[in-house]
Amino acid sequence: MLSIKNLAVTLTTGQTIVKNVSLEINAGSVHAIMGPNGSGKSTLAYTLMGHPKYEVTSGTITYQGHDITQLSPDKRAKLGIFLAFQHPLEIPGVTVATFLKEAQQAITGIATDVKDFHTLLRDTMELISMDPSFVYRNLNEGFSGGEKKRLEMLQLLILKPSLIILDEIDSGLDIDALKAVAQGLHYLKAQNPQVSIVMITHYQRMLDYIKPDHVHIMHDGRIVCSGDATLVASLEHKGYDAYQS
């Protein structure tokens, strides 16, 4: 589904953050990318989504047979790629319901009847234990960390992407919110077993709820170690210092 080959990424300031990263992500697989702060995890996630702040200086990104290395974020979204941000933006004056309806229409090209869309929203929100009044609030304005993450999950369930990139979605979540996020991901996988998930995280606790098929450790912009889920336990025991080369 996603093939990353010899990828190098530089900030607009000229600093190289991702260095010669190669990764193959098959349909239906769950990958966890772990590493300390500054290791290049989030830069890789944003690059996969096409953020203009990051310049691909070498290598390629291929998605479902398409070279998307230079593709704009909106076109990547239409291909089925979704990035859940670590710090989602606030948009005053735009309600959650309006945002989600416009996003769904932009990606699918289909204008859903307002009544039908609100029925879909209500049914979907029940899955992740969200208060129905939530949809009338302005997007992320005054939201707690947990509310922002629940909204990211609501977007996932509405937009139904085929590749999900989660940038530290477990950051700042309490146990109940973490379980709600995991419940949403399990529901997505049940609805579409071919959906692929890439989880960027520092900690094991999210991986206790969503077991990865593959775990990769990043250090200084490189993937320095890859393995199966047992690598997480080893990492918890040894720490990141044991994987610096």
Check whether 167 has a pLDDT greater than 90. no
Whole-angstrom distance, CA of residue 60 vs CA of residue 35? 23
CA-based angle 84:2:21, to the nearest 5?
90
Measured N-to-C along each axis, helices 175-191 and 114-127 cross at an angle, to the nearest 10 degrees, of 120
Check whether 16 has a pLDDT greater than 80. yes
Q: Is the pTM of this model over 0.85?
A: yes
- Give the neighbor-by-neighbor strand order of the sheet with 196-201: 81-84, 163-167, 196-201, 30-34, 214-219, 222-227
Whole-angstrom distance, CA of residue 84 vs CA of residue 213? 20
For residue 24, give both structure tokens.
């193959």
DSSP 178: H
| The total number of structural domains that make up the chain | 1
pLDDT tens digit sequence for 104-128: 998 888 888 888 998 988 888 887 7
Check whether 245 has a pLDDT greater than 70. no
Indicate the pLDDT class of residue 76, thresholds 50, 70 and 90.
very high
Check whether 146 has a pLDDT greater than 80. no
Whole-angstrom distance, CA of residue 128 vs CA of residue 171? 18
pLDDT tens digit sequence for 203-214: 777 888 888 999
Per DSSP, what are the bridge partners of residue 129?
Answer: none
Check whether 170 has a pLDDT greater than 90. no
* CATH for 188: 3.40.50.300
pLDDT of residue 237: 79
Whole-angstrom distance, CA of residue 85 vs CA of residue 168? 8
Would you say 54 and 10 are in contact if contact means Cβ atoms under 8 Å apart?
A: yes
For residue 63, give both structure tokens.
């998605």
Residue 2 parent element (H or E)? strand 2-11
The percent of residues in the chain predicted with pLDDT above 90, rounded, is 42
Indicate the pLDDT class of residue 36, thresholds 50, 70 and 90.
confident
Range of the domain at 163: 2-243
Whole-angstrom distance, CA of residue 71 vs CA of residue 134? 33
